[in-house]
Structure 1
Amino acid sequence: MSETRTALVTGANKGIGYAIAAGLGALGYRVGVGARDEDRREAAVEALRAAGADAFGVPLDVTDDRSVADAAALVGRRAGRLDALVNNAGIAGETGPGWAQDPTTLDLDLVRTVVETNVIGVIRVTNALLPLLRRSTSPRIVNVSSSVGSLTRQADPDVDVGPVMAAYAPSKSFLNAVTVQYARWFAGTDILVNAVCPGLVATDFTGFHGPRTPEQGAATAIRLATLPDGGPTGSFFEDDGVVPW
């Protein structure tokens, strides 16, 4: 089995996901670029390779069982194991003026769509890749969350958490809770599972609003994906440390 460490990043064709893939590639990881769009995926792979990274494309729709199973099989053929899984793919869902999602008029299909990607998709991908992660001597799972998933911050009137997002914010709270359950399940093993808030990053996801670059948003996710043995697990991090829950 190759000694080169391998990572898979979902939603890695652009924005924060691409920056995470680039950062791991710069550290010597072989990086699987998980993305649905073939053209964008291959363009990202070419750009990563041009920068010196060992990158390969992974067709991946996190909402589709067959797509995820095929992706796991592809990673297995290419690498034989997986050392780091970064569940970055996510959606906000349709919003109204000012990015708001009004809980009193919320379309239930919108809630289902957001949860299907942001939560169920993470579970689907994680469980499909677990056999490969178990082959690693230091497997790491990182779930890209958001500070809007913090109930502590959402409930504090003195904290500016932006608009009410009645589908997206609860999906990230749900993801944080799922992260803890995985960490509890793997307690006492080498598998470390954490969530990360990249901050408000200027990407197309945010309409390019935000003070942070994708590289800044990726930094903590990269750190968690490369934690040493005995590192933290079951926590929710941002640049400044643990996010209050």
Structure 2
Amino acid sequence: MVHLVALAALSSASTAALACEALRMVPGGTVVQVTDGDTVVLHTGTVVRMIGTQAPKLPLGREGFETWPLAPEAKAALEAIALNKTVQLGYGGEEIDRYERALAHVFVETDDGLVWAQQAMVARGLARVYSFPDNRACLDLLFAAEGRARTAGLGIWRDPYYSTRAADAPGDLLARAGHYELVEGRILLADQSGGRVYLNFGRFWKEDFTAVIEAQALRLFAETGVDPLMLEGALVRVRGWVDDRDGPRIEITHPEQIEVLATR
């Protein structure tokens, strides 16, 4: 059953790619190297960070950096999808990062049409959705693919390293400080103070998990017609980097970091 789910997700990749119409499409070239599960190098020398996803990480020369579970498998999967193949690039936001990498969606040319590499990796459970405030195009399609892979227990979703964490277990979350996590729980209090909105998941705000929305992010919420104060009582999934500041916390920089699972 899991195998059939994976095949179905991959077979729909070309169709889904066409559904993402918000991108500025340009010719890319041939992929001559796959660095890891979310980065490729083109024959032109351009390094492309596949925006919208985060695959398990490899050390890549970083001293003391431990290989994340399934990182070699993610790299091998992306090689099977894109290596030595011609690709097109789709831009939907900021196009170059501080490392001079292209920030793009990668579409692989095949006999059956374009295959969206990001969606294919997420559908296999070998990457998860990872977005930025200046790069938010096509996330709904990636979230849908991630949801299917998570439900089917594909790839990273069967490894405890990537498990969705419980918001009401602050001690466990503190142990994951410095890690990118998905956290689920019910917002007990949504409060605005000093230009920020605090989404509190426990009654003791100096100990329990909190999601903090800064003023700049609140403008993005307003643009999308979402009032985070109305999330009080909602069951949500929050994704982001966990830090330790008056208990475990995730900073919210854009609305897509919060998925509403139930309103009450």
Which structure has more relative contact order (CA 8 Å, sep 6+)? It is: 1
Give your verdict on TM over 0.5. Answer: no
Please report the TM-score for the alignment, with normalisation by the length of structure 2.
0.29
Q: Which structure has greater helix proportion?
A: 1
The structure that has the greater radius of gyration is 2
